[in-house]
Amino acid sequence: MIFRIARSPEGRRITRYDDYNLSVTKGMTVLDVLFRIQDDIDPSLSFRYSCRGAVCGSCAMLIDRVPRLACRTPVETIKQATLRLREFPAIETAQLRELGDSVVIIEPLPVLPVLKDLVVDMSSFYQRFEEMKLWTDPEDGQEPRTQIPAELSRFDRYANCISCAICLAACPVCDSHTEFMGPAALAKAWRFYQDSRVMNRGRYLEVAKRREGAPMCELVMNCVKACPKDVAPGGAIREIKSTGQ
């Protein structure tokens, strides 16, 4: 199988695609392929990873024009296109159909600036959390805050986010409007707003309802389809849109 990998040795933009022809064994993931290339063929290839178990979120990249975790994507599943994302220029699939099943294209996540090869600059992604103050405020007192399962279930799925930025890379609004807060940040805001242990919950809803927040989302739901942890940010955004202060 041929792996066609986007290269940008100087950073900022893709300058060429390199082809690597590898025989793949059953169960091999895209991350395994990248290690094989780096170890045996081209040590200059750059990519990011840490946990290798879909926990750290650092190996997100565009695999055959779908944003996915490299460590969680077995090569034999790549061509079984089931996601059907609404396309925008960065994730257009017309070229894939021409190439057929023997070539896999691997590229950095779109929307975020490229640092080198498959490594993107996540600063603007994290900056949204900072700007929206998506953390709990320190409070007086030492009393434990208990929570019953029904209260936990209101935000449980949103707390599973691993900050991989796949939802942002899949979102056509993030691609065309850099000021949009994006699905991950809005899902996190909803997560705090729904948490019964948090005081001053209204501030999370207030920030999420700003012009560059939930009102900008067009409910395309690419973020829901692409999220590897079933966080469903688009569902949270729909709730934010319909909830009054």
Among 52, 154, 203, 225, the residue binding ligand FES under the rule CB under 6 A is 52
Residue 196 touching ligand SF4 (CB under 6 A):
no
Report how far residue 236's alpha carbon sits from residue 233's, in angstroms, rounded to the nearest whole number: 5
Beta bridge partners of 5: 18, 106
Does 112 help bind ligand SF4 (rule: CB under 6 A)?
no
Nearer to ligand SF4, 77 or 163 (CB): 163
Query: Nearest distance from residue 55's CB to ligand FES, in Å?
Result: 6
Distances (CA, A) of 99 to 3, 102, 136, 145, 200: 12, 7, 49, 56, 54
Residue 59 interacting partner from ligand FES, ligand SF4, none (CB closer than 5 to 8 Å by kind)? ligand FES
x/- contact string, 27-66, with ligand SF4 (CB under 6 A)?
------------------------------x---------
Q: Which of 69, 114, 168, 185 binds ligand FES (CB under 6 A)?
A: 69
* Binds 185: which of ligand SF4, ligand FES, none (CB < 5-8 Å by kind): none
List Cβ neighbours of 28 (8 Å cut-off, separation of 6 or more).
74, 75
Alpha-carbon distances of 169 from 107, 118, 179, 223, rounded to whole Å: 12, 13, 14, 8
Q: For ligand FES, which stretch binds (CB under 6 A), given 17-25, 57-65, 79-87, 233-241?
A: 57-65
d(CA 245, CA 235): 18
Query: Do 176 and 222 meet the contact criterion of CB atoms below 8 Å apart?
Result: no
